């Protein structure tokens, strides 16, 4: 029986706030958008990139401008994605503790190539059998990405856990029939995460192995 732990990336495995925010600011500047405080952008992390720029550009319906901002973001972020980004405390140890006992994957609203690059730079890639981003599949909270990962490993919903810091992760997990674990230490709005009602909440990575055992009876 496959036990599958599927992780969100930004705000769950890694604290990427500064690098993401700097890339968003670069994208805004590229299209003449108004600058905003870096810290005000942290709440945007995890949302689809086009939606972020539409909002920051004042609901701009000029899709070409939105795409130029997003392209500028991606070009900048590719070179600077690991300038300040680090795994959350205890992430490396928790992943190592699951090696050989759990199949692990990443399910992110980033594009796949960018998620893989970041994991490579942080020396985390070897922990994951699959890294899947929202390239050709809908963004979370749509469950399509998570279902695709489950299908690849023939993992049953009862032994699959979606781990993430936002309501979108919880909703994607629920709609895929999987168990859900909220990472309350991440970037997502805590109130929204709690309101989404994950099956378990962890306040630190040290709590993850026990949470997984409780959820699946491992």
Catalytic residue among 10, 15, 165, 169: 10
| Helix/strand/coil (H/E/C) assignment for every residue in 22-81 | HHHHHHHHHCCCCCCCHHHHHHHCCCCHHHHHHHHCCCCCCHHHHHHHHHHHHHHHHHHC
Catalytic residue among 8, 15, 19, 165: 8
Q: How far is CA 180 from the centre of its chain?
A: 14
8 is catalytic: yes
123 is catalytic: no
Question: Active-site residue numbers?
Answer: 8, 10
């Amino acid at each position: 029986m496959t036990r599958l732990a599927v992780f969100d990336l930004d705000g769950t495995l890694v604290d990427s706030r500064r690098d993401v925010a700097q890339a968003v600011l670069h994208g805004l500047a590229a299209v003449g958008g108004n600058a905003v405080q870096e810290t005000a952008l942290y709440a945007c992390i995890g949302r689809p990139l086009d939606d972020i720029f539409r909002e920051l550009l004042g609901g701009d319906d000029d899709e070409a401008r939105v795409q130029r901002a997003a392209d500028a973001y991606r070009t900048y972020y590719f070179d600077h994605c690991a300038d300040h980004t680090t795994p959350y405390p205890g992430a490396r140890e928790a992943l190592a503790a699951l090696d050989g006992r759990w199949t692990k994957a990443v399910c992110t609203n980033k594009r796949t190539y960018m998620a893989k690059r970041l994991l490579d730079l942080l020396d985390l890639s070897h922990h994951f059998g699959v890294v899947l981003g929202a390239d050709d599949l809908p963004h979370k909270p749509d469950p399509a990405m998570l279902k695709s990962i489950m299908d690849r490993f023939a993992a049953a919903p009862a032994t699959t856990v979606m781990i993430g810091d936002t309501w979108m992760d919880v909703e994607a997990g629920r709609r895929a029939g999987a168990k859900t674990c909220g990472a309350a230490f991440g970037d997502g709005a805590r109130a929204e995460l709690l309101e989404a009602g994950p099956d378990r909440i962890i306040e630190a990575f040290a709590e993850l192995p026990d949470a997984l055992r409780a959820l699946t009876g491992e």
